[in-house]
Amino acid sequence: MMMDLRRGPWTVEEDLTLINYIANHGEGRWNSLARCAGLKRTGKSCRLRWLNYLRPDVRRGNITLEEQLLILELHSRWGNRWSKIAQHLPGRTDNEIKNYWRTRVQKHAKQLKCDVNSKQFKDTMRYLWMPRLVERIQAAATNTTTANVTAAATSHDHRGQFNNFNNTTTTTNNNNMINNLPSNIIISNNDFGGTYTPENSSTAASSDSFGAQVSPVSDLTEQYYTTNNSTIPVNNINNPTPTTTNPLDHQILIGGAYYNPSMSSNTSTYENYSFNTEGLIDDNYHNFQASMEQNSQYWLEGVDNLWNVEDMWFLQ
DNA sequence: AAGTACTTCAACCGCGGAGTG
DNA sequence: CCACTCCGCGGTTGAAGTACT
């Protein structure tokens, strides 16, 4: 029989009912859960409400710089695989990341009058946006060790009204946030001289943890060896020539600059690149900057209304 | 102050895959 | 196999909030 099902925003009472039911019976089997709990909602709706909102470990508040960096990085690898990306951002939901991408990233692309998938926009992200994010993360980490991130409840947040769970202020040390980056994104202030140790890299790619900077991060970094100070594509250990075509497969971040072999000329071998001790800058990066200057009028016009106040660091 | 445009994000929808009988 | 149900994912919508004129 088809009982009348509710739709639209959830009420406090419905939230309470769902929370209490799951506290007593656990989650899963959503259709029967909805029925047994007496909720006039579809199982789907209950699942969504729980996973995206009521779940105790859902992380609220603004997307941090580190999370932004991660989203850009992971999206460049996996595209719109939101749930997969979300797995690497503890407490964030696929919905939230998807919303972030659509409202922020796609907006910027639109304002630049280019497609998010275009090379132009990807280069902008890779050579300007992401390095700048890294710089800001570094700056934040060195400027203060007491900076806190507070997860603020929104006006839609019912949870604080009826229980104590998840109402603690989330306080995160910036150094810890940096440690939470995946190990193939290394923030480093020095040169390319990280010591490669095979035993560190090994095949033990079993952990999804972001904490260990000396071990590969599962499927993200199968092709990487990671050291304390640098991340080196496996291809480059004994063979200087990249063997895959995905530019990001070979992207290395050292000294706050992205090194991306495949951004270079047709003869993209690693020998083409020069490293320095301040940061690793390749010829392409210079070329890109040069072309940016050449097109400064275009870019500045675009950039002028491209970034909101929060993003004004971009211009400096 | 009021009207309008824009932004955000919670929630919905359709689809495809997995499981089951 | 086939039919059916359930679940999870990605795309989309629209209400509420905010900014702008």
d(CA A29, CA A44): 10
d(CA A60, CA A150): 9
Q: Which has more confidence, A189 or A195?
A: A189
Domains of chain A: 12-54 (1.10.10.60), 65-178 (no CATH), 198-281 (no CATH)
d(CA A71, CA A131): 14
Give the tens place of pLDDT for each residue, A112-161.
777 777 788 888 888 888 888 888 888 888 876 543 433 333 334 444 33
Any idea which of A101-110, A225-234, A307-316 has the lowest mean pLDDT? A225-234
pLDDT of residue A50: 92
Place of tokens 């690793």: A280
A252, pLDDT greater than 50: no
Nucleic acid strand B: bases within 7 A of protein CB: 7-14
Please compute the mean of the pLDDT values over residues A202-217 and round it to a whole number: 25
Nucleic acid strand C: bases within 7 A of protein CB: 5-12, 15-18
pLDDT of residue A278: 25
Contact between residue A86 and residue A63 where contact means Cβ atoms under 8 Å apart: no
Q: In Å, what is the separation between the CA of A244 and the C1' of C4?
A: 44
d(CA A82, CA A84): 5
In chain A, positions 29-58 with C-beta closer than 7 Å to nucleic chain B are 41-42, 44-45, 48-49, 52-53
> To the nearest 5 percent, what fractions of chain A are helix, strand and coil?
50, 5, 45
Helix ranges, A30-184 (H) = 30-36, 43-49, 65-78, 82-86, 94-100, 106-111, 119-124, 130-143, 159-162, 174-179
pLDDT of residue A301: 35
Contact between residue A25 and residue A33 where contact means Cβ atoms under 8 Å apart: yes
> Is there contact between A210 and strand B, defined as CB under 7 Å from any strand atom?
no
* Smallest CA–C1' separation from A156, nucleotide: B10
Torsion of CA A212, A214, A217, A223, to 10 degrees: 170
Place of tokens 């909720």: A39
Contact between residue A74 and residue A92 where contact means Cβ atoms under 8 Å apart: no
Residue A88: closest CA among A100, A101, A73: A73
> Is there contact between A99 and strand B, defined as CB under 7 Å from any strand atom?
yes
> Is there contact between A164 and strand B, defined as CB under 7 Å from any strand atom?
no
pLDDT of residue A65: 86
Mean pLDDT of chain A: 57
Tokens of A309: 């106040």
Please compute the mean of the pLDDT values over residues A34-54 and round it to a whole number: 90
Quick count: other Cβ atoms within 10 Å of Cβ A67?
Answer: 24
> Is there contact between A98 and strand C, defined as CB under 7 Å from any strand atom?
yes
Residues 6+ apart with CB under 8 A from A87: A208
| Confidence tier at A46 by pLDDT (50, 70, 90) | very high
> Is there contact between A47 and strand C, defined as CB under 7 Å from any strand atom?
yes
Any idea which of A64-78, A134-148, A214-228, A246-260 has the lowest mean pLDDT? A214-228
For residue A276, CA distances in Å to A167, A193, A283, A289 come to 47, 10, 12, 17
